């Protein structure tokens, strides 16, 4: 079974637009779980333009499924994750000024750095996932640094899905098969949607978890949050 982790960054973006606490991200996280989500994901960035670091602390007290904190492991992020101790941390190589994640790690060039981070988080009992492009040598590198899982960066798949979905998925299938052989768990995220999710799930062997935020929250504007979560869960069956 593939778990659905709902990324609530966009809820925080809406809250921050008015400077108050509406919508309340903690309540939305609780409701997402009540509506069927099997995890909650947040991606705090240094400027706190959506999720604030305090949000992660507050959410730790209420999330009852699986809490996943993803982000670029600068000193403040490392301190936050070490304090919160979520079930999973996903390491993402975001530039400080990145609008959104746009590439996976070079697990070969950053081998020593990642190895130290992975060891540090695993010593705290946190499962570690590394955000990677669907490139076999990067998957191998993730294994070498001691990661528990990889998260496949799926924007290129989504971008080419309607043009040629077989070609769009090909590298992901190869990467997933290798991950399975190496004993790495497989997560995926970025631009997955109601249109492209089912095919991705069907083609990727051993897909454990998808993290979806932007498309899911956008769909919720039309379908409602509870119904939208059920629609995404249906695509994963």
Domain 3-235 has CATH 3.30.470.20: no
With a CB cutoff of 8 Å and minimum separation 6, the contacts of 65 are 33, 37, 38, 39, 40
Task: For residue 196, name the pLDDT band (cuts at 50, 70, 90).
Answer: very high
Torsion of the alpha carbons at 126, 37, 188 and 48, rounded to the nearest 10: -70
Q: What is the pLDDT of residue 94?
A: 74
Choose the catalytic residue: 43, 50, 151, 209. Answer: 43
**Coil vs helix vs strand at 97:** coil
Beta bridge partners of 5: 39, 211
Say what the pLDDT of residue 103 is.
Answer: 79
Query: What is the tens place of the pLDDT at every residue in 35-92?
Result: 999 999 999 999 999 999 999 999 999 999 999 999 999 999 999 999 999 999 999 9
Catalytic residue among 33, 70, 151, 209: 70
- Summarised one tens digit per residue, pLDDT across range 153-165 is 999 999 999 999 9
Whole-number pLDDT of residue 95 = 60
What stretch of H or E contains 157? Answer: helix 155-160
Going by pLDDT thresholds of 50, 70 and 90, the confidence category of residue 101 is low
Residue 11 has pLDDT above 80, yes or no: yes
Helix (H) or strand (E) run with residue 111 in it: helix 111-123
70 is a catalytic site residue: yes
Whether 43 is catalytic: yes
Q: What is the pTM of this model?
A: 0.95
For tokens 């490139």, name the residue: 135
Of the candidates 33, 151, 190, 209, the residue annotated as catalytic is 190
Averaged pLDDT, 166-193: 98
- Note the pLDDT of residue 221: 97
> In this structure, what token pair is assigned to residue 230?
């059920």
Residue 99 clears pLDDT 80, i.e. is over it: no
């Amino acid at each position: 079974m593939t778990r659905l982790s709902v990324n609530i960054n966009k809820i925080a973006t809406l809250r921050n637009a008015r400077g108050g606490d509406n919508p309340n991200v903690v309540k939305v996280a609780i409701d997402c779980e009540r509506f069927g989500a099997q995890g909650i994901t947040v991606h705090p960035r240094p400027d706190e333009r959506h999720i604030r670091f305090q949000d992660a602390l507050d959410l730790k007290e209420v999330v009852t499924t699986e809490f996943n904190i993803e982000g670029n492991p600068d000193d403040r992020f490392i301190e936050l994750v070490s304090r919160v101790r979520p079930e999973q941390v996903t390491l993402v190589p975001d530039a400080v000024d990145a609008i959104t994640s746009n590439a996976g790690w070079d697990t070969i060039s950053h081998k020593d750095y990642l190895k130290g981070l992975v060891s540090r988080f695993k010593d705290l009992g946190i499962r570690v996932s590394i955000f990677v492009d669907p490139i076999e040598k990067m998957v191998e590198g993730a294994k070498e640094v001691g990661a528990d899982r990889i998260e496949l960066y799926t924007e290129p798949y989504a971008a080419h899905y309607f043009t040629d979905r077989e070609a769009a998925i090909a590298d992901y299938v190869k990467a997933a098969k290798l991950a399975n052989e190496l004993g790495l768990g497989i997560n995926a995220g970025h631009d997955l949607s109601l249109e492209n999710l089912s095919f991705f799930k069907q083609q990727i062997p051993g897909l454990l978890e998808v993290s979806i935020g932007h498309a899911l929250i956008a769909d919720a504007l039309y379908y409602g949050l509870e119904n939208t979560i059920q629609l995404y869960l249906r695509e994963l069956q």
